[in-house]
Amino acid sequence: MLRFFANRHTDGTVILGKAVSLGRLESAVMEILWADGEGRVQDVLSALDRGLAYTTVMTTLDRLFKKGLLDRAKQDRAFVYRARLTRAEWERHRASGLVAEFLSGPGPSRELLLSCFLDAVGTHDAPLLDELEKEFRKRRRELLKRGAP
């Protein structure tokens, strides 16, 4: 099962959204669309060559569209599907998603053999940060006044 972050394109910028997982059939469908560029339900069904029902493939493509992974356009009363991301973009965002997942998980998933500069990266108390920032600026002014080494 593949896990990655779905992308929503707004103003041409890719942002990260909720984590999405893909089943085996969904992954196979994505592979076909990357290889062929685009395809209708019938095209994907033929490429799959698994003896699946037409409706099964249609539902899968529809699901992938709703997950935000495919674009579709109507041509001659049938939808033509194409992948929103290239395979390279997919791999990068999947890897990026895994990185985020590792960093953001609860206790057990944080047991990595890493020395993090700032542990427990997450939601920080904004008033605390402001307070610390104030202390920092005050200290910097003192040092600059003293000309300390």
Partner 1 sequence: MITDYFSRLVCLCFASFFLVHAGAGVAIALLIPAALRRAEKMPARSAAAFLFSLRLLPFVMASCVIAALCVPSYLLLEPRSGTEPLGGLCATAAVLGLLSWLIAAARAVVALGRTLAFERSCRRSGSETRLAGRTVPALVVESRLPLLALSGLIRARLLLSRQVLEALQPEELDAALRHEEAHQSSRDNLKRLVCLLIPEVLPLGRCLAPLERSWAKYSEWAADDQASRGDSHRALWLASALLRVARMGSAFESELCATFTACGWGLEARVERLLRTETAREGMREPGRFAQHRELLLIGAFTATIVLLPGAMACVHRLLERLIQ
> What is the binding site for partner 1 (CB under 8 A)?
16, 91-96, 98-100, 102-106, 109-126, 128-129, 132-133, 135-136, 139-140, 143, 148-149
- Which neighbouring-strand residues pair with 8? 15
The residue behind tokens 């579709």 is 72
Q: Which candidate, 94, 119, 88, places its Cα nearest to that of 16? A: 94
CB of 79 to partner 1, least distance (A): 31
Alpha carbon separation from 101 to 4, 10, 21, 70, 79 (Å, rounded): 10, 23, 13, 23, 34
| Separation CA 40–CA 33 (nearest Å) | 10
CB of 18 to partner 1, least distance (A): 9
Nearer of residues 78 and 132 to partner 1, judged by Cβ: 132
Nearer of residues 36 and 133 to partner 1, judged by Cβ: 133
Nearer of residues 16 and 48 to partner 1, judged by Cβ: 16
CB of 119 to partner 1, least distance (A): 7
Residue 87 and residue 40 in contact, taking contact as beta carbons nearer than 8 Å: no
Nearer of residues 51 and 122 to partner 1, judged by Cβ: 122
CB of 72 to partner 1, least distance (A): 27
